[in-house]
């Protein structure tokens, strides 16, 4: 089955830079070995809609040349990957602007952007605010696991793409009932994402309505049990232990 615009596909992949270093993968074991494991992430493959800019252009172009179950490798130039490395994104900033002295290689937040410290020079630090993959030729080893046809698989897959977990979704004809986990109510990401997720479900599937259902019970709303207070003796013992570990005499 060839891959076309609007298709929902499940893809597994590993992305590498020219030096072979891995920056992204759907394989949890690979992520652990290469120290990029996210304990809150979801592994095992991503569900992607072809033609809606959910992946870099070069990878999508290669996918559309193949069929389901294809497994291969593609190298992608910067202009079809993460863009060029821009010199204007490299800035020298005075050290007084940082809460703590930056060190070479450190990732820091500044004015809402994340930058990597390239060098520290006297009273200034040079930061690179380009994304780490900018300017690099990217190589993807990937497999098209499946082209999805089932409506529930499509919607559950989209929920995992947006929220890094498969949500509980019930399908009744052309209506999707999405059961929202209680903890999502405290997630700014969920508040920012749920409208776009519903829009994608409505636009790219036969759904006509998406219902978000929040369920509350007394049991669910019970606060976590408080930890027992420590006695003075226990606090003293822990303090002595901490001092010994930190090398405090």
**The pTM is what?**
0.77
CA-closest candidate to residue 163, choices 144, 179, 141: 179
The confidence score (pLDDT) of residue 99 equals: 83
Cβ atoms of 70 and 144 within 8 Å: the answer is yes
- In CATH, the number for domain 150-249 is 3.30.70.2210
Q: Which residue has the higher pLDDT, 209 or 217?
A: 209
Residues in the chain: 249
Q: d(Cα 75, Cα 83) in Å, to the nearest integer?
A: 14
Q: d(Cα 84, Cα 68) in Å, to the nearest integer?
A: 31
The confidence score (pLDDT) of residue 233 equals: 56
Domain 87-128 belongs to what architecture?
A: Beta Barrel (2.40)
- From the candidate CATH numbers 3.30.479.30, 3.40.50.720, 3.40.50.10470, 3.10.50.40, the one assigned to the domain spanning 1-83+136-148: 3.10.50.40
Give the pLDDT band (50/70/90) at residue 239.
Answer: very low
Q: Where are the domains of the chain?
A: 1-83+136-148, 87-128, 150-249
Q: What is the pLDDT of residues 113-152, one digit of tens each?
A: 999 999 999 999 999 999 999 999 999 999 999 999 999 9
């Amino acid at each position: 089955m060839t891959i076309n615009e609007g298709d929902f596909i499940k893809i597994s992949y590993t992305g590498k830079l020219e030096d072979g270093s891995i920056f992204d993968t759907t394989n949890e074991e690979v992520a652990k070995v290469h120290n990029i494991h996210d304990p809150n992430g979801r592994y095992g493959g991503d569900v992607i809609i072809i033609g809606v800019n959910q992946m870099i252009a070069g990878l999508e172009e290669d996918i559309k040349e193949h069929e389901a179950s294809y497994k291969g490798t593609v190298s992608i130039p910067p202009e079809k990957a993460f863009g060029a490395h821009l010199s204007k994104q490299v800035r020298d900033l005075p050290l007084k602007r940082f809460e703590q002295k930056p060190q070479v290689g450190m990732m820091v937040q500044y004015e809402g952007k994340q930058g990597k410290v390239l060098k520290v020079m006297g009273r200034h630090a040079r930061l690179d605010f380009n994304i780490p993959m900018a300017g690099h030729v990217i190589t993807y080893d990937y497999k098209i696991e499946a082209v999805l046809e089932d409506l529930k698989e499509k919607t559950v897959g989209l929920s995992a793409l947006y929220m890094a977990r498969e949500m509980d979704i019930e399908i009744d004809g052309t209506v999707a009932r999405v059961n929202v986990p209680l903890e999502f109510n405290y997630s700014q990401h969920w508040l920012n994402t749920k409208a776009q997720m519903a829009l994608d479900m409505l636009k790219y599937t036969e759904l006509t309505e998406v219902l978000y259902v929040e369920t509350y019970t007394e049991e669910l709303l019970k606060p976590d049990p408080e930890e027992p207070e420590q006695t003075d003796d226990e606090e003293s013992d822990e303090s002595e232990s901490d001092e010994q570990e930190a090398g405090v005499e």
